[in-house]
Amino acid sequence: MTTPPFTPPPVARHGVGTRLRRVAMAVALVFLAIAVARARERMLAEQKRLGERAQDNAATAARSLDAVALQAHILLESVTSLVDPSAAPERNDDVLQSVFRRVPTRFSNLYLVDTLGSNIGAGLLPAGGRGAINLWKRQYFQSALRSGAFTVGMPVKSMTIAGAPWVLPFILPMKDARSGRTIALAGASVVLDSLDAVRATRRLPTGSVLTVLDSTGDVVIRTLDADQWIGRQFPNYPARSGRVEPLGSDTIVPSDIDRIDRLFGTERMRVANWQVYVGIPVTEVFGPSRRQFTQDLLLGLIIAVGIVGIGYWLTERFVAPIASLTLDARAISDGDMTRRSLIATSDEVGTLAGAFNQMADAIVERNAQLADSQEQLRQVQKLEALGAFAGGIAHDFNNYLSSIMGHGELALEQLEANDPARLEVASVLTSAQRAADLTKQILIFSRRQVVTPAHLDVNATLRTMQRLLVRLLGESITLRSELAASLGSVYMDQGQLEQVLVNLAVNARDAMHHGGRLTIRTSRRVLPNGPFVCIEVEDSGSGIAAELQPRIFEPFFTTKDRAHGTGLGLSIAYSIVGNAGGTIAVDPACTTGARFIILLPEGEPVVAPALTGALDVPQGNAERILLVDDDPGVSLVAERLLRRGGYLVESASDASRALQQLEQASFDLLITDVVMPGMTGPQLAREAVSRHGAMRVLFISGYPDDDLLAYEIATSQAEFLPKPFSRDSLLRKVREMLDVRDG
């Protein structure tokens, strides 16, 4: 069935076709002009590039020849330290042959001659024997003898290599250590055809040539007609500078010797002061760019004609439909997202209209996705705000717990052993400790816990997390623990280990929508790089598709919907485990649910500290302590605990008062809260050190709301005692810091 032609709405059509044809003609002319300009620009740019390449070829050849000369110089200096001109030639033969076998293959011979040019040692001898070689008449020999310096000679025909190829000689005089006169000369040679510069030139287009001229204009190296030109004067060399034609980047196009125009690059050698020319025939260099110029012109002309033809064709078939489509596009751009094109023809315009409608649908979908992304961002911001709020609550709550626990311990000390009130006070302390554990778990979720690495008992950590994990998983999921009987310790922060396990438990819970089982196992594994503590977290949920497993630890990658995941849990776990020197991976062999395997380096088993009584707590020796805390309850109980412990204590409720007291007296230790109004604890400590020099500082807080301090605590550069603290932990920490100072 033939699709009926599109009938456009009644729009003004008079003159549209004529205007479109005129526009097509104008566009064709403009395009043709641009094509001509562009083709010429491309040709000139290509010719300039080729000119620069020719110069690069010459520079590369010159540096390559300099490198060979430098290698020869170094080699001959080594040879002069090994041979003995006064020894028998056969002995020098042995030495030179031994060296020759070890030198790069580019060198074709090593030899030693006396000051009369007679051979007294060689790596290779000619078929006629030693007497067949005498360098007395060689120009480079005489030059080296006169100058007493390393010399690069004019190439000569080899007398030791079959076929007598051209070789480039190098010679270095040996001088007597006392008199300084030349007693012998060590030489080496390289076959010209083996030089990298010669090989590179032979790989250039046919007709390319490498020419090297010495300072007098004699040809030293020429890759074309070498037998005819090496050692001869280059034609018209003195007048050359007046005849060359500059082109590109220091390149020239001369016609010399064989009357072939070549694009030349030139560079001067540093070692021998020779001029290097590398030339490529102009027909080979510029031919492609000129042919490309012609092709570009033809293509531009064809396209221009095509533009005119298309303009006439569009006038008859597409003007009205496109005008209608334009109106639809304007309506959508004005905000009418319900507008769609009504064009239903089977030709290209119909296809374009269908694509236009798909684009409009895609815009609507993208807008919906953008709204979802913005909602997800708001959720992340809410979580961040909630974390900050939780940290603040934990800080205040830890202050209250510090006061409760401190006063409880003080009350317990004053009660007789058989006093019935001891049981009630002990119960208060137990409840306070449980509340402290709950606060610590809040900090885990807010990711504001203090990072203090220590040797941890993994099994003990898992047992303390039992209640938290059960509440996280809910009633429909069973938690099962299979803990190994004996494990070594792992060195990491306990809060970070708990955060890793919490993140894995939350992921497992979200994968078991209708309930299931979460199993946590511990074991010891011995791998080639040492023993490890292994923690396996396995769930009976929906599992992870094999194609997704390589990406699960990427930040923000998640398989959950936008309302239930940010894609940060596993990436955070991966970072924490990696920082502890371990690895975390999903087990691909697990086909029911998912199994994560954590390997952490094993240390010595954690030994439980021995129980100590009140008398075992280290006492002070009347050291002076300045205590700074804005919470009166914490300040009062800490001051009383420290005074009972044998210390002289002064208190300050803020940093400004503390600085005034530091001006009036000296203190052995500064104990300061971290989070305080105005100047914080870390700021106070830095100001005190800058004013009064180095001093011991102990930070106390529910969490250190200071990035620099958190880093210093993690790297053991700052001392920290978390709230709530007990009498024993406070006095032991203070005594430890003061003893370190005294030692």
Question: Is the same domain home to 242 and 154?
Answer: yes
Answer yes or no: do 463 and 412 share one domain: no
| CB 625 within 8 Å of CB 640 | no
Is residue 642 located within the same domain as residue 729? yes
Name the residue with higher pLDDT: 333 or 620.
Answer: 620
Please report whether residue 543 resides in a domain: yes
One domain for residues 203 and 275: yes
Q: Which amino acid is at 207?
A: G
Residue 433 lies in a domain: yes
Taking only the tens place, the pLDDT of each residue in 437-446 is 666 656 655 5
Is the predicted pLDDT of residue 33 greater than 70, yes or no?
Answer: yes
The domain boundary, picked from 554, 579, 601, lies at: 601
Same domain flag for 479 and 420: no
Q: Among the listed ranges 547-556, 559-568, 654-663, 684-693, which one has the minimum average pLDDT value?
A: 559-568
CATH number at residue 153: 3.30.450.20
pLDDT at 597: 93
Q: Are residues 76 and 149 in the same domain?
A: yes
Residue 136 is assigned to a structural domain of this protein: yes
Domain range spanning residue 64? 51-285
Q: In DSSP terms, which residues pair with 170 in a beta bridge?
A: 152, 188
Assess whether the previous peptide bond of 722 is cis (omega < 30° from 0): no
568 with 670, same domain: the answer is: no
- Number of structural domains in the chain: 4
Of 248, 266, 285, the residue that ends a domain is: 285
* CB neighbourhood size of 520 (10 A): 21
pLDDT tens per residue across span 169-215:
999 999 988 888 999 999 999 988 888 888 888 888 888 888 888 88
β-pairing, 251-252 with 262-268?
antiparallel
Provide the pLDDT for residue 1: 44
* Cα 221 from Cα 150, distance rounded (Å): 19
- Whole-angstrom Cα distance, residue 345 to residue 372? 36
Q: What percent of the chain has pLDDT over 70?
A: 76
Residue 73 domain flag: yes
Q: Is residue 40 part of a domain?
A: no
Residue 25 lies in a domain: no
Q: Does residue 315 lie within any of the structural domains?
A: no
Q: Residue 706 above 70 pLDDT?
A: no
Same domain, 672 and 737: yes
Q: What is the pLDDT of residue 26?
A: 78
* CATH code (residue 489): 3.30.565.10
DSSP string, 688-718: HHHHH-S--EEEEESS---HHHHHHHHTTSS
Same-domain check for residues 443 and 462: no
Shared-domain flag, residues 264 and 372: no
Q: What is the CATH number of the domain that holds 394?
A: 1.10.287.130
- Looking at residue 10, its pLDDT comes to 46
Q: What is the per-residue burial (b if ≥16 Cβ within 10 Å, else e) of 635-661? A: bbbbbbbbebbebebbbbebbeebbee
Whether residues 529 and 673 share a domain: the answer is no
Terminal Cα distance for the chain, rounded: 102
Percentage of the chain beyond pLDDT 90 is 13
CATH number at residue 674: 3.40.50.2300
Mark whether 555 and 653 lie in a shared domain. no
Q: Is the pLDDT at 299 greater than 50, yes or no? A: yes
519 falls within a domain: yes
Q: Could you give the angle at the alpha carbon of 214 between the alpha carbons of 209 and 217, nearest 5°?
A: 80
| Residue corresponding to tokens 């526009």 | 23
pLDDT of 15 above 60: no
Secondary structure element (H or E) that encloses residue 520, with its range = strand 516-527
Which of 395, 414, 447 represents a domain boundary (last residue)? Answer: 447
Which tens digits make up the pLDDT trace of 389-428? Answer: 666 676 677 777 777 877 777 777 777 777 777 777 776 7
Q: For residue 613, name the pLDDT band (cuts at 50, 70, 90).
A: very low
- How far is the C-alpha of 707 from the C-alpha of 715, rounded, in Å? 12
Mean pLDDT computed over 120-146: 87
Render 295-318 in DSSP notation, one character per residue.
Answer: HHHHHHHHHHHHHHHHHHHHHHHT
Question: 654: which DSSP letter?
Answer: S
- 473-494, pLDDT tens digit by residue? 888 999 999 999 888 889 988 8
Kind and range of the H or E element at 33?
A: helix 16-80
